[in-house]
Amino acid sequence: MSVEFSVADHVATIRLNRPEAMNAIDPETRQELIDIWQRVRMEDDIWVAVVTGTGEKAFCTGSDLKKTMPGNESYAQQMFANPVSQSVAAHMETDKPIIAAINGYAMGGGMEIALACDIRIAAETAQFALSEVKIGSIPGSAGTQRLPRAIGMSDAMLMLLTGDRISAQEAFRNGLVSKVVPADKLMPTAYEIAQKIAANAPLAVRAVKRLVKRGMDLPLSHAIESERYVFGLLYQSEDRIEGRKAFAEKRKPQYKGR
């Protein structure tokens, strides 16, 4: 399998496993990822996901150009005849939080996968780039849209227009990643964060993610109105009542996602 998948304690681990190809995504890997993201969305036992790469060199370097040749379909066919997006970062849409544990090179589509995650943690040796302009192309998996939203216009333009790499330390400076840790601490740090999230009420966690994601594209007044509406939806939920009871009784809450 070119993608390893496992679930423990409500945390799913997705590990790209093609270290001989810098964890690049070939057609088989792409299909495996489509199936895995469907499982993350649909399986009740999964509350948080962590995505990483095998080995010390690469998180993911995007599409495997040796195995992913341009098709013969017209653009209209690609857009309207094939309902399954071929973007490497497609199908990651879910209200469940996704953490990227970036263990090495995150280049092109690999960086776009990281950008599609909610929290990014990097090893000290990680490097980042969207270098498509160097080969006469552009990022094809929302990189031009997600990067400015993540780090601001000037830093994003610097990366996108030069195509240059940045280090993990520079990624931390501009807010692309939340933490930079030694390589041997990367997965323990990612799992520590995932377990903290999984210990919280899952409906509340998913509601927060949806509000943040959608609210960024709304006027502030409309976003605040959405927040008030979702607060009301959760007000009488079983988990909210359990959380208050557990606090009063000085015990750990037992959340059920209801």
- CB neighbourhood size of 216 (10 A): 9
Cα within 13 Å of Cα(37), Cβ side: 20
Catalytic-role residue among 28, 73, 93, 112:
112
Catalytic-role residue among 20, 132, 242, 249:
132
Residue 132 catalytic? yes
- Residues 39 and 3: their CA atoms lie apart, in Å, by 13
For residue 63, the 8-state DSSP code is B
- Closest among 146, 147, 144 to 155, alpha carbons compared: 147
Residue 249 catalytic? no
- Residues 234 and 185: their CA atoms lie apart, in Å, by 36
Give Cβ neighbours of residue 56 (< 8 Å, ≥ 6 apart). Answer: 103, 104, 125, 183
- Closest among 106, 174, 160 to 131, alpha carbons compared: 160
- Residues 176 and 166: their CA atoms lie apart, in Å, by 10
Cα within 13 Å of Cα(12), Cβ side: 23
Annotated catalytic sites, by residue?
112, 132
